Amino acid sequence: MIGRAIRWLSNPGDDPALAVAQVRQMQRQIPLLYGLLLLNASAIAITHFRSAPKLLTLSLPAILLLASIVRMAHWVQVRGSVPTPAEAKRQLQTTTMLAGVLASGYVLWALLLAPYGGAFEQAHVALFISTTVIGCIFCLMHAPQAATLVAVSVIPPYFFFFLFFHESSFAPLALNVTFVLIVLLRVLFRSFDSFRRLVHSQGELSLQTQQMAELAQQNRALAMTDSLTSLPNRRFFCRELELLAGRREHGCRPFTVMLIDLDCFKPINDTHGHQTGDQVLIEIAGRLQEAAEPGRVCRLGGDEFGVLLEMAPADAERIARRVVRAVGVPLIVDDLRLTLAASIGLAGFPHAGGRASDLFDRADYALYHSKRSDRGGISVFTPEMEVAIRADRRIESALLSADLEQELDIKLQPIIDLSTGRVHAAEVLVRWTSPIIGSVPPDQFIPIAERTSIIHTITLIVLDRALQFAADAAPDVALSINMSTCDLSSVDTIDKMIGMIDRAGLASGRIWFEVTETAAMRNFDAAIVALERLRATGARIALDDFGTGHSSLSAMHRLPLDTIKVDRSFILALDDPSSRSIAEAIVGLCRTLGMDCVAEGVESKRQLARLQEMRCDLAQGYLFAQPLDRAKFRALVAEQSPCWVAVDEPRARLNAA
């Protein structure tokens, strides 16, 4: 029992949270304790100054008062600070030790003064000890070990001294004060228990509050994070852009908004499934994070990403080129070799705008321009670009609301057999006349249709019109229909095209499908599958604009091709020896591989003569005819003479039409 009491007295502050709370309360109360000691001790020294020796009225009280002043100054200095648990424990231990020492010193000094003076001075000593110890215990109510040591240091000497003092009237007073102090200690311990429970409950509440704060922070982080790629999301991007624009309004350094869109992602997602698409996005997100440093990459939604770069657009272009290279590296997903490209739009502060919304819109304008004119390229916003894009968006709006069955029409441009001069086939060209904006050239509305996936509907309508025309046209004339990248990558569109061809019941070879090498290379594996399925219906496959791509010989070898169409740039430059040599090589290669060769863009008899010398099979161009409506095309087919007879000027037949 005694050993446990000693351990309790000698080890205050074992509970870290409680120790900190105790010291914080003591910072307010202990200065009052020392103030009480200074006043009461000074008063009793003064009342005994004439009757007691100077050692007891000056020297000893000076030592006690100096020690009290030093401790009082310490507590005033640390008042309001928050100690660590270790610091709090040290302060409690020091306070407990000094409480016993100072209490013993003060009570011994007071009892030495008691015999001096008359009854009033002796009563003052008894009053000094009783009131001072009660006040000290109250001030130490949050340090029960220190309060206990004060009581233990005061009660025995006080009680026994006055119990046997020569004035018997002091004995009941000593007994009374002793009982009061015992009751006061009991109240103090109960009060401290309540204080301890309160501290622990507040600690639990604080822990709950902290946990709730951490949970709220996690929820905020989740709300700002894309769940698939773990990149910041659109909400984070817009918030950071607002903050950046707000800070930069006061003349700080420029910054650039970069928007990135993945070309050919939708066909991959549609062809190979969402799981493959998700894996592609995760891989690309990692590449973007590495390539776009020091900017922070965010996923804005779908296959669109954004980056904020605290640099001018000229410097941001260097980062953009790095991004394009990183995205263009083929990736392997589930044994599939997939290739994507990144189109990028850049808008810089302050030239592209000062507000966050303006900068985002104009970066989007630049991205749109990049996708429309140079897929896989980089565009920096200019005011002229905004004018052009607004016009494109006007076309897009009209296209989205169009009744394409009524508004689309087809034209046919003859493909001539150079050995006979007769019409061998016709390229089917789509024309769109909108009741809202009038006639729109194909090179304007086709890219928009590809971007919005309306191209699938257009392709099916054009194929349907071509099949209807073929049923009534000369049985030896084929019709060639253009296909886009989107068509090649859409299994649903290919299925519908095959169904339409089967129902038409045309002779084998009467339908051709033209695909550019660039379109095929966007998703080469999907293109091979789609073209082989179409070829299985009896259709023929033509590679358009040959010679303008980056891997033409590889494309000729791997794609299921029947016809090669030589790009018009080579035909226009046939007088140049280099271009003529290339054209001759292509014609010879086609003959070796057993493919037909079509020369595009023939406009003069001189070009025609060169092609006949090369033994080119077929040709098309304004020398023979411009794109014709169905009636004029039938009339041209019905003619018995070669198409170039009596043509003196390159565009005579065009002008006549």
Q: Which two tokens stand for residue 186?
A: 């009991």
Contact 630, 610 (CB under 8 A): no
Give the residues across from 165 on adjacent strands: none
Q: Using a CB cutoff of 8 Å and minimum separation of 24, what contacts does 577-580 make?
A: 580/610
Residue with tokens 């953009």: 320
Closest CA to 603 of 654, 566, 570, 651: 651
Q: By 3-state DSSP, what share of the chain in percent is helix, strand and coil, each rounded to 5?
A: 60, 15, 25
Is cis: bond before 156, omega within 30 of 0? no
Exactly one of 226, 261, 263, 303 is catalytic; which is it?
A: 303
Render 36-79 in DSSP notation, one character per residue.
HHHHHHHHHHHHTTTTS-HIIIIIHHHHHHHHHHHHHHHHHHHT
Cβ count within 10 A of residue 198: 11
Determine the Cα–Cα distance for residues 248 and 89; give it in Å rounded to an integer: 50
Burial of 238 (0-12, 13-18, 19+ CB in 10 A): middle
Residues 6+ apart with CB under 8 A from 433: 407, 409, 439, 440
Q: Which two tokens stand for residue 417?
A: 């057999």
Q: Which two tokens stand for residue 346?
A: 């850049």
Q: Considering Cα of 612, then 614, then 615, then 616, what sign does the dihedral take?
A: negative
Q: Which two tokens stand for residue 611?
A: 């092609």
Closest CA to 429 of 484, 483, 482, 477: 482
- Tell me the three state secondary structure of residue 603: coil
Determine the Cα–Cα distance for residues 508 and 515; give it in Å rounded to an integer: 19
Determine the Cα–Cα distance for residues 394 and 436; give it in Å rounded to an integer: 10
420 CB-side CA count, 13 A: 10
Determine the Cα–Cα distance for residues 89 and 91; give it in Å rounded to an integer: 5
Q: Is 303 a catalytic residue?
A: yes
Residue 347 sits at φ, ψ, to 5 deg, of -140, 125
Strand locations in 377-468, DSSP E? Answer: 378-380, 408-417, 423-434, 438-440
Strand locations in 420-490, DSSP E? Answer: 423-434, 438-440, 478-482
Q: Give catalytic residues, as residue numbers.
A: 303
